[in-house]
A and B are shown apart, each in its own frame.
Chain A
Amino acid sequence: MRILAYIFRRLLAAIPVLVGVSILTFLISHAIPGDPARLIVGPKASKEAVESIRKEHGLDKPLPVQYVRYMAGLVTGDLGQSIRNHRPVTRDLADYFPATFELTLASLVLCLAVGIPLGILAAVRRNRLADHVARVVSVVGVSTPVFWLGLMLLLLFYRHLSWLPGSGRLDVTSAPPADITGLYVLDALLAGDWALLREAASHLILPAFCLSYVYLAVITRIVRSSMIAVLGQDYIVTARANGLSAARVVLKHAFKNSLIPTVTITGLSLGELLGGAILTETIFAWPGMGKYVVDSVNSLDFPAIMGFTLVASAAYVAINLGVDVIYAFLNPRIRY
């Protein structure tokens, strides 16, 4: 019960955080010199045309009035209308967020599936071959520019070997599955369309690998160092002395205790990934949030920028809360 009260308190505390974020984003995005009305009508349009657009979108009103109007809409769940494409921002986010979410989930699975075992192996076999391999993998991961890696992956696996499909969420000729969750793999599964499922999943491999590689490197290093710290503890020596198998000692007793830093880093990475990965999305023509927000900034689409920032901040808040709750499960000594 206490944990529920804690979650409730944290959710309440999130409200001022989000309001603060909204004010800051609003001020910063309006401080960019440039006229969104002019961007809508095109450079050759007359001054009258610009003026009429400014009025239509309420851009002629003073900033505080614009902000209050925006917030009034927000309370009713209205994120405003995009200046660029005249659509409700909520609809835009509903279109772009699932792509990012699907890619993020796939990357996260890859990251943890490879990063954790590699980190454990590196810690257990410290300064031996496995450790060196893990180190090389990590250093290469941290230092490889994503745009280069992405292009190389495409060049090798798509262009030359033809093992995997090129960019995009589906093949050029395929129509998306019926929109249920927006996650193509899941939607194809729900529709029972196996060919489409296979296609959507195979389209995920390269971008997910590209995106996860940097985070994988970080997670490997964190798991390794925290495992090394734990493996040196007295209770591990005791466990070993009691004749427990090496696997049991490492995976059951040591690993669980080394998880807290890993969960922290994973949470932070997840937050970052959900904000969209502009480079990976650009290279793999992945229609996600990163690309959307960059286009919005370029056209000074204030409602879109605000909508994105609020959603991304809310995701961050939720993930941090989730991480804190997981702490309590991992270490019963942590109480809220």
Chain B
Amino acid sequence: MRFWTILCCLVLLLVGSTVYAADKDTLVVSVSSDIHTLDPGVSSDNYDWRQIYPCYDRLVKYKVENGKGSTEVEPMAAESWTVSPDGLTWTFKIRKGITFDDGTALNAEAVRYSLDRTLAIAKGPADNIGAIATMKAVDDYTLQITLKNPYGPFLQTLATDGASIVNPKVASHAVDKDLAQAFLAEHVDGSGPFKVVEWTRGQRCVLEAKPKYWGGAPKLKKVIIRFMSESADRRMALEQGDVDIAENILIDQIPALEKNKDIVVNRYPSQMVEYVYVNCQNTKLSDARVRQALSYAVDYKGIIDHVLQGNGVQMRGPIPEGMWGHRDDVFQYTRDVAKAKELLKAAGAEKLELTLIYSERRATWEQIALIMQANLADIGVKLNLELMSNPTLRDKIDKADFELCLGAWSPDFADPYMFMNFWFDSKNAGLPGNRSFYKNDKVDELVRKSATLSDVAERKKLYSEAQDIIMKDAPYIFLYQIQTIVPLRKNVKGYVFNPMLESMYNFEAISKE
């Protein structure tokens, strides 16, 4: 009995503990996934970039225009730049007066060291800046970069996380020639507005503002990133006021949040698209008419209205709205059962049986797969559904061992190259981008040419021509462009969504009332 009395007293003592919400100087963001690494030269994951990005400067940054995030870039650590007429040599004037925390100056050598380090590590981020051939510090604050070939999106790639400028002194932390990877995996050493002061695995990461940041002191003093894997949990914490921003809330929980007076639910058109890879190498799908029939069979509107509850728009062409090169007049498939049947008949593929593979990466995919199964049944195609783990799915895609596969894509840098060259250039066949194993010599020629030019108008023309061919060849079923939903507490001000910075926040400009 005595034991019980003690236990009850203990519980009573603990119950009713006041929960302290963070003060006005501290922003708390609840997110679904822990960080893997803090090294900008290593990570290819937006969830890592969320913490890395505000801790470093880059040569250029995305513009904010009228309170809206833009896909265009403007100077950051680079004051200005020039490019040679052949598009091969870029000369950057570095802004003077930027220093790292230990006082080391951010100069041409620091930028050269950082880009060189990312290239030498040769992981995901290196591919984005892979166009660089050589670099030379002309003087302390002038850096000359020579490219292997003229590369249209080059400037945009310098705004990516892998182009973050690291303090060259980190070299002293290198172990076994690892280029300080072990050190930077758990520490940051940049000149950005914030620095990581605590990372308790599985729990939280704390960023502290630098009041002397050259671009102006951040309004917040501290940002706490809280890892909570369950959507309902994040939602409760947001409603309770324990967190200020909650990301990745499941769509079906959004209407309830919208009714809460203390919470604002913002919706932004993102650059994240979802589509179906149609394996063009597969004998059943090598005829363009069969692929067109599949594109005609899908009920795009039904999927967007019911599965996404309206939080998306049907794709028109491969380049999403908001990215230059997008065309409002390019052909768009809409559901037309009669036309689809006609095409299948003409192709002699009336008794078709296909398998759609997908993973649990998105909560919505199961429903979409089921809708597609019903849609294709309407045109006489039997669709089998196969759910598998994400690593297995990726393996199958890379080996072209599938017929149809549900997928998602978001660009790493703001250039239609991320869609047109990655998805359609036959050199990128497999997981890197051309996941439908599509090969059209004319398209190859157009997109490759466009990539080497720097004149946007000219590039647009080439991409535009390629889009017409692609829509006829239907190597993918272009489903929709997602809206990103960001619910935040009403007192959070200054948040700007940038479609290029999915899951990343402009902490330096955010404040709390």
Tell whether, in the assembled complex, residue A163 and residue B15 are in contact, meaning their CB atoms are under 8 Å apart: yes
With A41-B123, A45-B124, A198-B14 as known contacts, state yes or no: A172 contacts B394, CB within 8 Å. Answer: no
B39 to chain A, nearest CB (A): 8
Tell whether, in the assembled complex, residue B391 and residue A34 are in contact, meaning their CB atoms are under 8 Å apart: yes
B44 neighbours in A (Cβ, 8 Å)? 41-42, 44-45
Q: Is the C-beta of A52 less than 8 angstroms from some C-beta in chain B?
A: yes
Contact of A44 among B20, B21, B422 (CB under 8 A): B422
Main secondary structure of the interface of B (DSSP, over half): mixed
B20 neighbours in A (Cβ, 8 Å)? 171, 173
Q: Is the C-beta of A30 less than 8 angstroms from some C-beta in chain B?
A: no
A162 to B237 alpha-carbon distance, docked (Å): 11
Q: Which residue of A lies closest to B6 (CB)?
A: A113
A45 to B44 alpha-carbon distance, docked (Å): 9
B36 neighbours in A (Cβ, 8 Å)? 84-85
Q: Is the C-beta of B226 less than 8 angstroms from some C-beta in chain A?
A: yes
Q: Is the C-beta of B440 less than 8 angstroms from some C-beta in chain A?
A: no
Tell whether, in the assembled complex, residue A158 and residue B201 are in contact, meaning their CB atoms are under 8 Å apart: no
With A34-B392, A173-B20 as known contacts, state yes or no: A198 contacts B37, CB within 8 Å. Answer: no
B364 to chain A, nearest CB (A): 19
Contact of B19 among A41, A162, A205, A287 (CB under 8 A): A162
Residues of chain A in range 150-165 having any CB-CB distance to chain B below 8 Å: 151, 154-155, 158-159, 162-165
A156 to chain B, nearest CB (A): 11
A40 to B125 alpha-carbon distance, docked (Å): 11
A95 to B28 alpha-carbon distance, docked (Å): 23
A155 to B236 alpha-carbon distance, docked (Å): 8
Tell whether, in the assembled complex, residue B3 and residue A33 are in contact, meaning their CB atoms are under 8 Å apart: no
Tell whether, in the assembled complex, residue B412 and residue A44 are in contact, meaning their CB atoms are under 8 Å apart: yes
Tell whether, in the assembled complex, residue A38 and residue B431 are in contact, meaning their CB atoms are under 8 Å apart: yes
Tell whether, in the assembled complex, residue B398 and residue A202 are in contact, meaning their CB atoms are under 8 Å apart: no
Q: Is the C-beta of B457 less than 8 angstroms from some C-beta in chain A?
A: no
Tell whether, in the assembled complex, residue B11 and residue A205 are in contact, meaning their CB atoms are under 8 Å apart: yes
Tell whether, in the assembled complex, residue A44 and residue B432 are in contact, meaning their CB atoms are under 8 Å apart: yes
Q: Is the C-beta of A300 less than 8 angstroms from some C-beta in chain B?
A: yes
Q: Is the C-beta of A282 less than 8 angstroms from some C-beta in chain B?
A: yes
Residues of chain A in range 192-219 having any CB-CB distance to chain B below 8 Å: 198-199, 201-202, 205
Q: Is the C-beta of A75 less than 8 angstroms from some C-beta in chain B?
A: no
B228 neighbours in A (Cβ, 8 Å)? 167-168, 285
Tell whether, in the assembled complex, residue A291 and residue B395 are in contact, meaning their CB atoms are under 8 Å apart: no
B4 neighbours in A (Cβ, 8 Å)? 113, 117
Tell whether, in the assembled complex, residue A95 and residue B240 are in contact, meaning their CB atoms are under 8 Å apart: no
Most chain B CB neighbours (cut-off 10 Å) among A35, A49, A158, A159: A49
A162 to B20 alpha-carbon distance, docked (Å): 11
Contact of B202 among A34, A158, A287 (CB under 8 A): A287
Tell whether, in the assembled complex, residue A283 and residue B233 are in contact, meaning their CB atoms are under 8 Å apart: yes
Q: Is the C-beta of B66 less than 8 angstroms from some C-beta in chain A?
A: no
Tell whether, in the assembled complex, residue A49 and residue B127 are in contact, meaning their CB atoms are under 8 Å apart: yes
With A285-B230, A299-B391 as known contacts, state yes or no: A166 contacts B432, CB within 8 Å. Answer: no
Q: Which residue of B lies closest to A43 (CB)?
A: B431
Q: Is the C-beta of B122 less than 8 angstroms from some C-beta in chain A?
A: yes
Contact of B230 among A36, A282, A287 (CB under 8 A): A282
Q: Is the C-beta of B355 less than 8 angstroms from some C-beta in chain A?
A: no
A316 to chain B, nearest CB (A): 23
Tell whether, in the assembled complex, residue A158 and residue B122 are in contact, meaning their CB atoms are under 8 Å apart: no
Contact of B398 among A35, A41, A292 (CB under 8 A): A35
Q: Is the C-beta of B9 less than 8 angstroms from some C-beta in chain A?
A: no
A92 to B398 alpha-carbon distance, docked (Å): 31
Q: Is the C-beta of A298 less than 8 angstroms from some C-beta in chain B?
A: yes
Tell whether, in the assembled complex, residue B185 and residue A86 are in contact, meaning their CB atoms are under 8 Å apart: yes
Q: Which residue of A lies closest to B44 (CB)?
A: A42
With A85-B36, A99-B202 as known contacts, state yes or no: A166 contacts B17, CB within 8 Å. Answer: no
Tell whether, in the assembled complex, residue B224 and residue A172 are in contact, meaning their CB atoms are under 8 Å apart: yes
Q: Is the C-beta of A26 less than 8 angstroms from some C-beta in chain B?
A: no
Tell whether, in the assembled complex, residue A176 and residue B389 are in contact, meaning their CB atoms are under 8 Å apart: no
A292 to B11 alpha-carbon distance, docked (Å): 30
Residues of chain B in range 17-44 having any CB-CB distance to chain A below 8 Å: 17, 19-22, 26, 28, 34, 36-37, 42, 44
Q: Is the C-beta of A48 less than 8 angstroms from some C-beta in chain B?
A: yes
Tell whether, in the assembled complex, residue A166 and residue B124 are in contact, meaning their CB atoms are under 8 Å apart: no
Tell whether, in the assembled complex, residue A176 and residue B203 are in contact, meaning their CB atoms are under 8 Å apart: yes
Q: Which residue of B lies closest to A175 (CB)?
A: B198
B389 to chain A, nearest CB (A): 7
Q: Is the C-beta of B126 less than 8 angstroms from some C-beta in chain A?
A: yes
B182 neighbours in A (Cβ, 8 Å)? 86
Q: Is the C-beta of B390 less than 8 angstroms from some C-beta in chain A?
A: yes
Using A46-B130, A85-B185, A198-B14 as known contacts, list a sample of 6 further A-B pairs with CB atoms less than 8 Å apart, ordered by residue number in A.
A35-B394, A96-B202, A99-B202, A163-B15, A168-B228, A201-B10
**16 A/B residue pairs, CB under 8 Å, sorted by A:** A33-B395, A34-B395, A35-B398, A41-B123, A43-B431, A44-B44, A48-B122, A49-B122, A166-B242, A167-B237, A168-B228, A171-B20, A173-B224, A175-B206, A286-B202, A288-B202
Q: B interface vs A, CB < 8 Å? A: 3-4, 7, 10-11, 13-17, 19-22, 26, 28, 34, 36-37, 42, 44-45, 122-124, 126-127, 130, 181-182, 185-186, 198, 200-204, 206, 224, 226-230, 232-233, 236-237, 239-240, 242-243, 389-392, 394-396, 398, 412, 422, 430-433
* A-B residue pairs, 4 tightest by C-beta: A287-B202, A42-B44, A34-B391, A42-B124
